Structures are given as C-alpha cells and as structure tokens.
Structure 1
Amino acid sequence: MGSKNKLKRFKENEGFGNVIQPKREEVISGNFTLKGQWQEEFGNQNPIVLELGCGKGEYTVGLAQKFPNKNFIGIDIKGARFWKGAKEALADNLVNVRFLRTQIELIDQLFAEDEVAEIWITFPDPQIKFKRTKHRLTNPVFLDKYKTILKNNGEIHLKTDSEFMHGYTIGVLQGSAFEIVYSNHDVYRNHGSPKEVLEIQTFYEKQYLDKGKPITYLKFRVK
C-alpha cells in the first residue's frame, strides 16, 4: 500500500464514529476514559467481545453481523488495515462495532476487570523464533492480561493456520488458569467447529486455504 493511500485512510479513520485512537500516554497514565465504560460507549448492556490483531476487520464485522446482541471491538495498531472493516461497518449500519487503534500489550489498561466476555485471536503471527516468544499473543504474560479483563468463564478463541501456534498454546494452557473446551486441527475436514469458525474467513485465511493449508481452532476459558 502506497504512503498516499495510508495517509488517506488515516485521515478517514479520524472521521469515522466507530474508530477510537487513544494516545499511548493517555492509556498508560490511566486517563483512558472508556476503561470500564465500554457498554456505555455502545449504549447497551450487551457482552463485549474483542478481536485482537484484527487486520482488515473481517472477523469483527462478520461476528457483529451474526450476533447483533453482542458488542464487538477490533483491536490493531495498524489503522490503515482496519479502515476497510470500519468503513464496511458504517456502510452496513452495524452499531455494535468499534475499532480500537492501540498496542495489544496495553489491553489490561484499556479494559476493566471482568469487562470482556470473549476474545478472538485470528491468524496471529506465530513468532516462531525463540527470541520472539514474548510477542506471541498466547504467551503466559498475555494470558494473564486476558484473564484480568475476562469475566468468569470468559472464552478465548484461537483460529490459525499455524500448527506450531496451536500446539504451543495447548502446552502453555496446561496448569494455567484456563481450561481447554475444544480443539480441532483441521476445521474444514473434521466436523464439530462452530458455524462462526467455518463461515467467516479472513483475507489471509483464503490465501492459506488456496495453498491447501489446514486451519486449526482452539477454544479455552477461564476456570
């Protein structure tokens, strides 16, 4: 994507009512006003669901269409990517969608304890090299942050083309504060996955499927 297109999208994001872009200093100083107030932001008491590393926002928008009685927030630091999802949500009048431009490492400073019902992690970078372990979105540090903001029995969904990421996460969950609810190593060949896992596909997922790569899915929840 050219720099002109990026700048254009950044500018459009500023005018989108469903895009929230707090400054890092605002968040880490504890002055982010939406923390603990997300249901008020949506104007209802419906459950809050996050998509971490939402990319173009396909899952955030797709889930919002399927579940109008839930509120969905796509989170990514790359605003030029989720511009597409934000624009689509506005065009479709999806009032249960927001996009939050921020770093995922700040998530426990953006949401209050027990404020979130579910988290989706869709096709994250597996960060295979050992020195990149701290960046894996299901490493123990991130899981502790998720546990803080999730409600009791709150669920996390991991959908990925990376068997490494799938297996790594299962290993990390052993003896943790989470329990595995469901695991599938090839969702399109092995039956049993929820419809929202099969019926919503991201841009990258379609590329992986064209190459014949199996897509894995893991659901786990706070004990």
Structure 2
Amino acid sequence: MGKNKLQKFEDMSSYPHVFQFPFSVLREKGFEMKGKWNHSFFGNNNPIVLELGCGKGEYAVGLARKYPEKNFIGIDIKGARMWTGARQSLEEKLSNVAFLRTSIELIPFFFANDEVSEIWITFPDPQMKKVRKRLTSTRFMELYRQILTENGIIHLKSDSNFMYTYTCEMIKANHYPVLFCTDDLYNSCIHDDILEIKTFYEQQWLERGLSIKYIKFICENREQLIEPDVDIEYDPYRSFNRSKRSRNKIKDDHKENEL
C-alpha cells in the first residue's frame, strides 16, 4: 500500500462524516445509527438519498450542493477513492452529506425500513457474466426494498449498453413504473440540473464518444421478483477498463461505422 493511501486512510478515520465498520463489528454489535440517521447525524427530517458505488463521491457532493433540503450518503468499499469527496465536502462545510465505507450487500445493516427515499447507481461494473453481482439485479432490488420508502426511486446512469438493456428487461419483467428512460441522455429532451453532474469516469466515456444511458424508476414492493430470461449482446469493451487498448478499440469501431 502506497504512502498516499495510508495518509488518506488516516484522514478518513478522523473525518466526522465518514463511517467505517468491519463486518465482524456489525455482526456482533450492529450499527447504532440504523434507523436514526436523520435524528442522530443530520439533525433534520429531510429525505435520505444514497449514491451506491460512489467512487470519488462526485454525485453525493454535487447533489448535496444543489439540494440542501435533502441528505446524501455516498457508499463504496474503496476508501482511497472516497477520500476525495469526503475531503471536499468537509472543506466546503456541507452538513447534508456523509460517506459510508462498506460493501453494498451490507446496506440493510446500516439502514432501517423506509429510511431511504432515493438511490443513485452511477456507472457500475455491468458484471456481464455474473447476474448476482449486477447492482440492478433482482437480488439487489430485494436489498433496496428493505430500506426504501414505499415509492422509493432508483436512478441508473451507465455507459454500458449491456447494463442498460438488462435493467430495462428487469424493470419490464417486474412491472416497475418508469419515470424516465433514454439510451442517449445528452441528446435527449430532458433538462434537469441533477443530470449536469458528471463523474470522473463519465467525462472519460463522453470524450470517447460513448452515449450515456439513464433510467429513473419506482422500486415498488413485490411479493416475488422475476429475473429476466433474455440474451443480451455483450459490450464490445469492458466498461471499467480505461486502458489505451480500449480507447483504440472504440476509435476503430467509430471509423468502421463511418465507412
């Protein structure tokens, strides 16, 4: 582990708005603020919004700036990445944002029923070969339902056509109400300040000429969820691979399309 990472971890341990709990502690003692985030940390009754896989925390911080009437929590297992947003929000004295370092699978340990009003999933690994690891799979929908309010909203932004198509099929199979859906966000008719916030990786995808997909839907309660049984073409590149090789492949694909 590099010196820079060690310093970031040391910083994070001292930040009052960053929470880090090993699973062993959760299993033995639980999380004392579960169901009490508004009262014990934020000091208000404003809606709570999560950013899952928050990375550097661009959405959590950006949304907190725009919407002081809501509370935002960025969640990721990568503490070194999260440090950027945690430090920035501390320097800006944003009182409506926090960060939680944990695996997304463990969020029911940290939030009670009906405690969360919205969830943002921004540019997740599409997990093309592992259904159970997709953050919009029915497995994760069941986890989200444990903490979301009755009409809790889920937002997905992705550069992956595979992830977008899979999520559309999952929504269709379970009859979730769709509030907005587009496979080319920045050439769509939507005008929303929220969507002007761009993550570090989103900027990279746009620079490479990739279209950004966006879905906003209501995660209603269902007695039983249906996993879609469809064949979806894999992406021609790995969404999370940012190597020169990937860039060249995308450029070559564009050249072929132009011929």
Sort the TM-score into its range (normalised by shorter chain).
Answer: over 0.9
Q: 1:177 to 1:151 in 2, by over 3 A?
A: farther
Q: Deviations over 1:183-214 (max 9, x none)?
A: 011111112153211x1000000000000000
* Structure 1 position 105, deviation (Å): 0.3
**The residue matched to 2:177 in structure 1 has which SS?**
strand
Which amino acid in structure 2 is aligned with residue 62 of structure 1? G
In the alignment, what sits opposite 2:2? Answer: 3
Given that residues 30 and 109 in structure 1 are in contact (C-alpha distance below 8 angstroms), is that contact kept between their aligned partners in structure 2? no
In the alignment, what sits opposite 2:159? Answer: 161
In the alignment, what sits opposite 2:200? Answer: 203
In the alignment, what sits opposite 2:209? Answer: 212
In the alignment, what sits opposite 1:136? Answer: 134
- Displaced runs of 4 or more, over 4 A: none
CA distance in 1, matches of 2:33, 2:132: 27
In the alignment, what sits opposite 1:145? Answer: 143
The count of residues paired between Structure 1 and Structure 2 equals: 219
1:76 corresponds to 2:76: yes
**The residue matched to 2:139 in structure 1 has which SS?**
helix
Bigger mean CA deviation after superposition, 11-20 or 175-184: 175-184
CA distance in 2, matches of 1:114, 1:220: 17
In the alignment, what sits opposite 2:85? Answer: 85
CA distance in 1, matches of 2:134, 2:50: 17
Q: 1:135 to 1:43 in 2, by over 3 A?
A: same
**The residue matched to 2:154 in structure 1 has which SS?**
strand
Query: TM-score, normalising length from structure 1?
Result: 0.95
Q: 1:48-63, aligned counterparts within 5 Å? A: 48-63=48-63
Given that residues 159 and 215 in structure 1 are in contact (C-alpha distance below 8 angstroms), is that contact kept between their aligned partners in structure 2? yes
Residue number among 175, 189, 192 corresponding to 2:190 in the alignment: 192
* Structure 1 position 18, deviation (Å): 1.1
**The residue matched to 1:158 in structure 2 has which SS?**
strand
Given that residues 177 and 218 in structure 2 are in contact (C-alpha distance below 8 angstroms), is that contact kept between their aligned partners in structure 1? yes
* Structure 1 position 147, deviation (Å): 1.2
In the alignment, what sits opposite 2:35? Answer: 36
CA distance in 2, matches of 1:27, 1:49: 22
CA distance in 1, matches of 2:25, 2:37: 16
In the alignment, what sits opposite 1:122? Answer: 122
In the alignment, what sits opposite 2:45? Answer: 45
Given that residues 184 and 193 in structure 1 are in contact (C-alpha distance below 8 angstroms), is that contact kept between their aligned partners in structure 2? no
Bigger Rg over Cα: 2
Query: TM-score, normalising length from structure 2?
Result: 0.82
CA distance in 1, matches of 2:161, 2:124: 12
Given that residues 185 and 215 in structure 1 are in contact (C-alpha distance below 8 angstroms), is that contact kept between their aligned partners in structure 2? yes
**The residue matched to 1:174 in structure 2 has which SS?**
helix
CA distance in 2, matches of 1:28, 1:46: 29
Give unmatched runs, 5+ long, in structure 2: 221-259
* Structure 1 position 175, deviation (Å): 3.5
* Structure 1 position 177, deviation (Å): 6.5
Q: Deviations over 1:109-154 (max 9, x none)?
A: 211000000000000000112xx22111011010011111110111
Q: Deviations over 1:32-84 (max 9, x none)?
A: 11110110111111100000000000000000000001000000000100100
CA distance in 2, matches of 1:192, 1:19: 34
Given that residues 33 and 110 in structure 2 are in contact (C-alpha distance below 8 angstroms), is that contact kept between their aligned partners in structure 1? yes
CA distance in 2, matches of 1:202, 1:16: 23
Question: Which has the higher relative contact order, 1 or 2, with Cα contacts under 8 A spaced 6 or more apart?
Answer: 1
1:23 corresponds to 2:42: no
